[in-house]
Amino acid sequence: MREFNIVGKHVPRNDARAKATGTAIYTDDIKLPGMLHGRILRSPLPHARILRIDTSKAAALPGVRCVITGEDTPKIKYGNWRLFPDTQDEYPLAIDKVRFIGDEVAAVAAVDLDTAEEALSLIEVEYEELPAVFDVESAIAQGAPVLHDYCPSNISVNRKIQYGDLEKAFAEADYVREDTFTVHAVSHAYLEPCSSVAQADLDGRITLWTSTQTPYITQCLLASTMNMRENDIRVIKPFVGGGFGGKMELRTWEFCAAFMAKKTGRPVKFTLSREEEFLAGRRRHPMKLTSKVGFKKDGTLTGKDLRIHLDGGAYNAMGPTATFLCGNFGAMLYRYPSYRFFGEHVYTNKPPASAMRGFGAPQSIFATETQMNIAAEELGIDPIELRLKNAQVSGDKIPDVATISTCGFKESLEKVAEMCNWKEKRAQYKTGGGKGIGIGCYSFISGGVFNWFNTQYPFSAAEVRAFDDGTVHLLTMAADIGQGCDTVVKQILAEELGLKMEDIRITSADTSMTPQADLGAWGSRLTLMNGNAVIDAARKIKEQIFGMVSVRFNLNVIHEMECKDGKVFPKGRPQRSMTFGEAVAMAQKANRGEPLVARGYYTPRDKGMVTPAFSFGAQVAEVEVDKETGIVQVKKFWTAHDCGTVINPKAVEGQLEGAIQMGLGYTLSEQFIMDGGKTLNTTFLDYKMPNAMDMPPSETAHIDTYEPEGPMGAKEAGEGLAIPTAPAIAAAVHHATGYRCKDLPITPEKILNATKSL
Amino acid sequence: MREFNIVGKHVPRNDARAKATGTAIYTDDIKLPGMLHGRILRSPLPHARILRIDTSKAAALPGVRCVITGEDTPKIKYGNWRLFPDTQDEYPLAIDKVRFIGDEVAAVAAVDLDTAEEALSLIEVEYEELPAVFDVESAIAQGAPVLHDYCPSNISVNRKIQYGDLEKAFAEADYVREDTFTVHAVSHAYLEPCSSVAQADLDGRITLWTSTQTPYITQCLLASTMNMRENDIRVIKPFVGGGFGGKMELRTWEFCAAFMAKKTGRPVKFTLSREEEFLAGRRRHPMKLTSKVGFKKDGTLTGKDLRIHLDGGAYNAMGPTATFLCGNFGAMLYRYPSYRFFGEHVYTNKPPASAMRGFGAPQSIFATETQMNIAAEELGIDPIELRLKNAQVSGDKIPDVATISTCGFKESLEKVAEMCNWKEKRAQYKTGGGKGIGIGCYSFISGGVFNWFNTQYPFSAAEVRAFDDGTVHLLTMAADIGQGCDTVVKQILAEELGLKMEDIRITSADTSMTPQADLGAWGSRLTLMNGNAVIDAARKIKEQIFGMVSVRFNLNVIHEMECKDGKVFPKGRPQRSMTFGEAVAMAQKANRGEPLVARGYYTPRDKGMVTPAFSFGAQVAEVEVDKETGIVQVKKFWTAHDCGTVINPKAVEGQLEGAIQMGLGYTLSEQFIMDGGKTLNTTFLDYKMPNAMDMPPSETAHIDTYEPEGPMGAKEAGEGLAIPTAPAIAAAVHHATGYRCKDLPITPEKILNATKSL
C-alpha cells in the first residue's frame, strides 16, 4: 500500500457539521421573495387519450398565478440518451396521451400550497381510456396496445453482445443449465423528496436550484425543452438528500418551475410529496432474465447465454443504459470463454423504471450468482471454490467491451471465506436446518465510458486556484448528493498539493460558476473521474510552483519535487523548502501578478466501452429463518471488496452500510404493491424499507489494490456494494430452508409455500 | 470616429430593469435565517481617552447576543495605503482613545434593531476628555493636542512635486498673483446608506455581503484585521446605491458584522442610518490652497507654486491619495514651464475626510480655474482665449509624473464657446448686472497607476468563457456601484466578439468567484482598466476561434479575421463565415472537449505615476442672481468634454447629470454645519442637496478623440465632470454680481455681504 498523508485517513466529511447542526440548506429550504408554490396534476388512468383539458376554473381560483398544460409548452421531447434522439420519448407535460397512473398532465403555481392543491381539483380533464399493459409478456404479445406511436413493438431498445463460439461451448460442456429469474421494482426512497426552485431574471435567464445528481444534464435538457440556449440556464445543486439514480434526469417539476417562473416573473417552487414519489417516481427495473451456462465437470465455465427483458414502464428514462449494462455485467466476475447477451427494453403502462444504484447489476448479478450457487451445489463443488476456479483476474479482457486493469476478486473470495469461517459454517449448518450462510459477489464500474449524453465537454473538469496565503479554491461541477464526493476530491487535492483539508475552499455543482462540465453523480464515476480531473489541475499548479523552488534554491534540473505538509521542496531535501503560499506568491510574481489558476480534465480514452476500472467484492450473509413464520433474519454480513485505494475509510464504510440496508430491503421486504398499474403502497408505513433497527452487524475487509487509472489508485465504492446482498441472502436462505429463490423478493409466503412442498 | 456596432450606442443599462421594477437586491434587502442586527456605539466627544467600558448591562439585556469593544478584537490597524504600513492608523473599534464625535467605540448584535439600539444606551463608557482641534491652523500650531502618538506634528503625509526653475519663472513674469482659496467638506450623500451582512460558515470562513466600491480591498483588510487568511474571506457586492468614494475602505461595520458572525455563529447585519452617515461618514476634504502664478503680458504662463493643507479629520483614510492627487491636478490643464507643489495632510478631531468624486481635483482645480478667471480679467484677455493660449495638448509631459497621450482640451474650449455663444453673452451681460456666464475646466485621471494598496495581482482581470450556443460568460471583480460598469464592460466584450448584449452573462464583484483581482471602483478606473482586461481575454478567445475559421475555409495565413453580428469570418469575406457558436464548438472539438476559457489582465506599465489617460473638458454656467436675496439661480450649463470614445452615451449623460447635481450642491448649497467637532445637520432636511427640481437645463458635446491606451479609445467620464461646475458658477456669479468667491460654498450671505461693500 502506498503512503499517503490524507488519502486513506478518517477525514470527517465536508458536509458533516452542516448536516449535524441543521444548517445545511436543501432545495426545499430555499425561500425567495414572492415565491409561488407549484403542484402537478397527474393522470388517474394508466393509458388514455386526452380529449380536453379545461383549466379555466383553476386559473380563476384566487391566489392561482399560473396553470399550464402540455399545450402551453414548446412540446419538445427530452431524454438522457441525447446521442440517440429517437430514444428521447418524454414531454414535460403530457401531449395527447397519458401512459401511466401518475403521468404529468398539468401544473399549477399559486401563492400557497393549499391553493395550488385546490386548483388541481378544479382542472377538468376528459380522457378516452385505452387498453393498458402491465407486464412485459403482455406488452410484447401480438396485438398489444401500443404506448408510443414510433414504437409499435413496445420494444424501444435492444442490445446484443456476442463473442466466442457459444454452440461449441455448450456442446463441450459436461453440465449445462438454464434458469429464469425475475426481479422486482423497488424505490430509491431517498430521504429528500425531489424539490426544485426556479427564478427567471429580467434578461430571461433561468436559475434553477434543484435536488439533482446531474446539474449539467439538467441544464442541457431544460434548455432544449424550454427552447432556450444552454447557458441561459443556470443549475445549482444545493445540499441533496440522496439520489441513488432517481435524480439524474430532467424532471417535469424542473421544467414546470422554470417555465412558470419565466411566465409569471416570480420564483416557483415544486416539492414532491412522499406519496407522489412512491406513486409515480422512478424505480429499479423489474426484469426477467434467462441464463444458460455450461461447465466442465471440474467446474470450469465454458459459456453463457443471457437473455433479458427489462420492464421499462412508460418511458425510456435510463432504461437504455440499464439494457446495455445488464449485458456487460452478465459477462463480469467469471471468465466466460464464450458469451452471448440479448436484452430488450419494453414499454409498459407503469411508472418508468430507471437508473438505480447498481444500474442493471443487481438484477443481472442476482441471476449470475444464484445460478453459480445452484451449479456449485449440483456439481458438488464448494461455491467459493467454484468461483475461485473461474474468477476474473487483472488483465482479463471482455472482447470489444473492456479490459480489467486491476482485479482483487480472488483475494476478496479468499478473504471473505476466512472472515466468516466459511468452510466450518457450511458444514455445520445442515440444509433446511433453519440456519444458513450464502455468498454473493459483485463487480461494478467506476464510471461509464459510453457517451450516451453526447457531451461535448470532457467527462469531468476541475479548476484549482492557488493563493499566496496558502489556500486553494477547488471548483468542480461534480455533484455531492450525500455520497461524499466533495470530501473525497478535497482529500485528493490536499494529498496532491500537500495541504490540509481546511486549506481548501470548494465550490461545486453550479453550472454557471464551476467548470464545464461534469456528467454527474451516477455509475460511481466521481471519485475516479472528477478525482483525475482534480489531479490534472493540481499537477498544472505544481509545475509552476516547482519551477519557483528551482529558482529559489538554484536546483539541478534533475530534481524531482514534492508538496507535503504545506511545503514545497526537492524530494529528499526538505531543508530546501518554501511554504506552499510562498511558492505561489513567487510564481505569481514571475507571472507579473497573474493569479495561479489551472483547469484539469478527465475523459476516459482507450478504455473500452464500459468503464475505466472495475471494482470487485464478495459478501457472505448468515441467516436464520423462522420455520413457522418464514421470516428471515440476517444475523451478519461479511464483506471483502476491492475498491482500489480507499480514499476515505469512513465514507466507504458508510457506503457499505447504506448498501446493505438497500440490499436487505431489495431482497426481503421492499416491493411496490400494484393494482392495474396503480402503486398502492405510497407511504413509508406501507413500503417496507429496513431501518436502523433492522441492520445486522457487519464486518468488512478492503483488498489492497492500486488502480493505475484511478486517482491515487482508487476505484468505485458507491454502487457495487449494493449488488451482492440479494444473492448472498438468497443462498443463505436456501442453505437454511432448502428454498431456492429465483424471483425476488424473498417473502415469508414464498418460503412457507416452498418449504411446505419440500 | 471609428465604426462600432455596440460601443457608442444607447444600450440600456444592465441594471435598469432590476432597479425600475424594484427587484434589485441591495445589501439591506438580504435576510438570512437567524440573522442578528447590529448597532454601533459612537463617541460623543471629539477627543478623549477611554478609561473604562462596561458592557455588562447591555450584554444582559434579553435579545442581545453579542457586545464587543476594541478590547475583544485582535487590535490590528488597517488603512488603504497598505504599501506604507505607517499610514494605517485606524482600528475597527477604538483602542484607548476616540478622536472625533462619531468615532466607533463598541458594537452590539441583537435579535432585532430596537433591542440593539436599547443595548447601546446600556453601555457605560468613562472618558477623559482631551483638548481637541477642529481646523488645520490649530492642528499644526505649536503645542496643539496630538491625535496620534506616532505623529506629534499632526501632519501625517506630505507630498512635493517640483520641476522647472520657479524663481526664474516668477522673475520673468509680467504679472504674478497669489491667491488663497478655502474649500469645504461635503457629503457623498449616496442614496444607499452603508450596509453589511456577514455569515460565518462551519469551517470558520466568512462571507460578507457589503455595500462597497472595493470588494478586493475589503477582503484583504478584513482578513488582516480579523487575523485570518485572505481567501478565507469572501466579499460579495450586491447592488450598490452609489459610493462616490465613500465606500472604498474597510469600515467598522464590515469588521463588526464579520467578527460577531464568527463569534455568535449567526449572520449579522449592520445598516447605517442617514444620521450616522452625516454625523460620522467620510466626506470631501476641506482644504486651504495658496496658489501663485506668473504670466507674460500676452497671457503665457511662466510658472505656478501651489501649497495645500488638507484637513483630514481624525484618520488618514484616503487622504494620502488626495494629497498626492492635488499636486498632480495642480499641474494639469495648462502648460506650466515650472511648477512646485507642497501638500500636507493634517489630522483634526473631525470625521475623517476621504476620497470623494474628483479625489482632490474639485478643490485643486477650483483654485486653478478661479485664479485663471481672475488673471484673465486683470490681463484683459478673454478667459477662454487665455486658456487656449496655455492649454495642454496631446503629447505634453509633466516631468516624472505623466505624459498626456490624448488631449481634447482646446477642442472642448472652442466647442463650449460656440455652444453657449460665449463672446456675445460675455459682452451682453455687464459685470454686476445680475446675469452672468463663467467658465470652468477640468482634467481627470482614468484610473491610478501608483499602487498604494500594494496589490500583488494585476490591476484588473476578467475571465471570458465562450460556449457553443453562441453565448459567453464574463466574470470580473469590477464593482458596479451604480456607475454602470457592468454595462460598459459587456458592451466592450460584445463589440470585441461581435455579439449582442443578451449573449453575455456577467458575474461581477464576488471575490471567491470572479478572477483575482480588481482594485475597485474609484479614480474612474474601471472603463479603462477592466475594459482592457476584458479585451485581453476576448482576444485570447478570438485567437482560438480564428484558427478554426482558417481550418474550415482553408484560408491563406495572411487573412485577418473579425467577429461581427454573431459571426466569425475573414475580413472582407463575410461569405466565408461561421457563427460564433459554431466556431467555439469547433475550437472545443479541436481541444478535445476542453471549454474555451480565457483570462485577461491589465496593469498600467510605463504610464508614469498617475494615470494611463487623462480626460479633459470645459463647462460654462449661466446664472441669474437675485440682488435682494443673493440667491443664485443657474439657468443653464454647456459642457464640451473629451472622454475619448463614448462607450455608452446614455451612461455618460447620466454621469454628467449627476456631476452637475453634485457640483451645484458643492458650490451653492451643501455644507456641514459643525459645532465643536459635531455635525449638526444630519438629515436630508437640513443638509441641502439639490434635487431634480433644482436641475438647470444642460447641453453637452463629446469631443472626438481616440485614446490608444483606452479600450476602444475610451477614457474616463465618471468623476472629471464633477470638477468644473464650482469654478464655472463662481465665475458666472462674479460676472453677474462682481463678487469673486475664493471660499466655497457661495452662499447668499456671502454675495450680499460682498455686493453691499462693492
Looking at the structure, do residues A74 and A208 belong to the same domain, yes or no?
A: yes
Residue of B226, B474, B508, B594 for testing the chain A interface, max A β-carbons within 10 Å? B594
Do the Cβ atoms of B497 and B538 come closer than 8 Å? yes
In this structure, the answer to whether residues B272 and B309 fall within a common structural domain is no
Closest CA to B746 of B632, B623, B619, B626: B632
B588 interfaces chain A, CB cutoff of 8 Å: yes
Runs of H (alpha helix) within B350-476: 361-379, 383-390, 409-419, 422-428
Question: Contact A601/B588, CB-based, under 8 Å?
Answer: no
Say if A473 is an interface residue toward chain B (CB within 8 Å). yes
Side chain identity at residue A728, one-letter code:
A
Q: Which of the listed residues B534, B569, B602 is the one where a domain comes to its end?
A: B602
Q: How confident is the model at residue B401 (pLDDT cuts 50, 70, 90)?
A: confident
Per cent of chain B over pLDDT 70 is: 100
Which candidate from B231, B469, B473 shows the least CB-CB separation from A473? B231
- Cβ contact, residue pair B585, A513, below 8 Å: no
Q: Does A683 touch chain B (CB under 8 A)?
A: no
Distance (Å, whole) CA B582 – CA A435: 66
Reported as a pLDDT band with limits 50, 70 and 90, residue B2 is confident
> What integer pLDDT is reported at residue A606 of this predicted model?
94
If we measure between CA atoms, which residue out of B104, B23, B123 comes closest to residue B64? B123
* Residue of B458, B473, B597 lying closest to A594 (CB–CB): B458
Report yes or no on B186 lying in a domain. no
Residue B216 lies in a domain: yes
List all residues of chain A from 224 to 263 with a beta carbon under 8 Å from chain B. 229-232
Res. B1: pLDDT tops 60: no
How many Cβ pairs closer than 8 A exist between chain A and B?
A: 110
The CATH code of the domain that includes B321 is 3.30.365.10
Nearest neighbour of A470 by CB, restricted to B229, B517, B588? B229
Grid cell 526664474 in the structure block, residue: B168
How far A204 CA lies from chain B's nearest CA (Å)?
9
Which residues on chain B are in Cβ contact (under 8 Å) with A595?
Answer: 457, 461, 515-517
Who among B231, B594, B603 is closest to A471 (CB)?
Answer: B231
Query: Is residue A375 included in any domain, yes or no?
Result: yes
Residues of chain A with pLDDT under 70: 1, 757-758
Residue B151 lies in a domain: no
Q: What is the pLDDT of residue A306?
A: 98
Nearest Cβ partner of B457 from A201, A232, A593? A593
Measure A163 CA to nearest chain B CA, in Å.
32
CA distance to A52, A276, A279, per residue, from A101 (Å) = 18, 11, 8
Do residues A629 and A519 share a domain? Answer: no
Tell me the C-alpha distance between A379 and A390, whole Å: 14
- Which pLDDT value is given to residue A132? 98
List CB contacts (< 8 A) between A513 and chain B: 507, 513
Residue-wise pLDDT tens digits, B122-169: 999 999 999 999 999 999 999 999 999 999 999 999 999 999 999 999
Q: Is the separation of the CB atoms in A103 and A352 below 8 Å?
A: no
Which residues of A are less than 8 Å from B465 in CB distance?
Answer: 516
Of residues A54, A51, A77, A78, the one with CA closest to residue A67 = A54
A18 in reach of chain B (CB within 8 A): yes
Spatial distance between the Cα atoms of A401 and A611, rounded to a whole number of angstroms: 9
Separation CA A174–CA A186 (nearest Å): 38
Question: Which of A286, A187, A320, A315 shows the shortest CA–CA distance to A244?
Answer: A187
Q: Are strands B268-271 and B195-200 parallel, antiparallel or unpaired?
A: antiparallel
Residue in B229, B585, B597 nearest the CB of A599: B597
The answer to whether A205 contacts B505, with C-beta atoms less than 8 Å apart, is: yes
Q: In this complex, do B601 and A594 lie within 8 Å of one another by their Cβ atoms?
A: yes
- What average pLDDT score do residues B43-68 get? 98
Residue labelled with grid coordinates 524663481: B167
Q: Are A469 and B230 within 8 A, CB to CB?
A: yes
Judge: B589–A456 Cβ closer than 8 Å, yes or no.
yes
Task: Please tell me whether residues B641 and B545 are part of one structural domain.
Answer: no
Do the domain assignments include residue A743?
yes
Domain end call among A544, A578, A602:
A602
Question: Do the chains contact at A502 and B203, CB–CB below 8 Å?
Answer: yes
Are B593 and A603 an interchain contact pair (Cβ–Cβ within 8 Å)?
Answer: yes
Residue B183 covered by a domain: no
| B275 and B302 both lie in a single domain | no
Q: Please answer whether residues A331 and A399 qualify as being in contact, where contact means their C-beta atoms are separated by less than 8 angstroms.
A: no
Write the pLDDT tens digit of every residue in B424-456: 999 999 999 999 999 999 999 999 999 999 999
Residues of A in contact with B469 (CB under 8 A): 223, 229-232
A231:B595 CB<8 A: no
Where in the sequence is the domain holding A372, given as residue range(s)?
Answer: 283-450+608-757
CATH number for the domain including B103?
3.90.1170.50
Specify the pTM: 0.97
Contact across the interface for A592 and B458, Cβ inside 8 Å: yes
Specify whether A549 is located in the same domain as A663: no
Q: Say if B512 is an interface residue toward chain A (CB within 8 Å).
A: yes
Give contacts of A 194-213 with B, CB under 8 A: 201-205
Q: Are residues A297 and A422 in the same domain?
A: yes
B637 and B721 inside one domain = yes
Question: Distance (Å, rounded) from C-alpha A22 to C-alpha A29?
Answer: 11
Of A17, A204, A597, the CB nearest to B599: A597
Peptide bond into B383 cis (omega under 30): no
d(CA A651, CA A656): 9
> Do the chains contact at A513 and B507, CB–CB below 8 Å?
yes
Question: Residue B97 pLDDT > 60, yes or no?
Answer: yes
In this structure, chain B runs to a length of 758
Q: Give which of A228, A506, A513, A596 to mutate to test B binding, by max B Cβ within 10 Å.
A: A513
In terms of CA atoms, which chain A residue is nearest residue B501?
A: A203
CA distance B661 to B722: 9
Class of residue A692 by CB neighbours under 10 A (exposed 0-12, middle 13-18, buried 19+): exposed
Strand (E) or helix (H) holding A469: none
Residues from chain B contacting residue A597 (CB–CB below 8 Å): 515, 599
* Domain annotation covers residue B220: yes
A583 touches chain B (CB under 8 A): no
Top residue of A23, A469, A529 to mutate, by most chain B CBs within 10 Å, is: A469
Contact A561, A569 (CB under 8 A): yes
Q: How close is the nearest chain A Cα to the Cα of B474, in Å?
A: 10
Identify whether residues A404 and A346 lie together within a single domain.
yes
Whether residues A457 and B512 touch (CB distance < 8 A) is answered with no
Query: Closest-CA residue in chain B for A18?
Result: B202
Report the domain count for chain A: 3
Same domain, A86 and A126: yes
Question: B181 lies in a domain?
Answer: no
In Å, how far are A135, A217, A643, B112 from A358, measured between CA atoms?
22, 20, 15, 51
Q: Are B721 and B659 in contact (CB under 8 A)?
A: yes
* Lookup: cell for A754: 416452498
Interchain CB contact of A601 with B (< 8 Å) = yes
Judgement on whether residues A592 and A515 belong to the same structural domain of the protein: yes
| Residue A515 near chain B (CB below 8 Å) | yes
Kindly report, residue by residue over A661-689, the tens digit of the pLDDT. 999 999 999 999 999 999 999 999 999 99
B595 and B653 assigned to the same domain: no
Which residue type does B118 have?
E
> A421 Cβ partners below 8 Å, 6+ apart?
none
A118 Cβ partners below 8 Å, 6+ apart? Answer: A61
B18, B455, B592 member nearest A202 (Cβ): B18
Final residue of a domain: which of B583, B602, B621? B602
Q: How confident is the model at residue B758 (pLDDT cuts 50, 70, 90)?
A: low
B745 upstream amide cis, omega within 30 of 0 = yes
Please answer yes or no on whether A456 and B588 come within 8 Å at the CB atom: yes
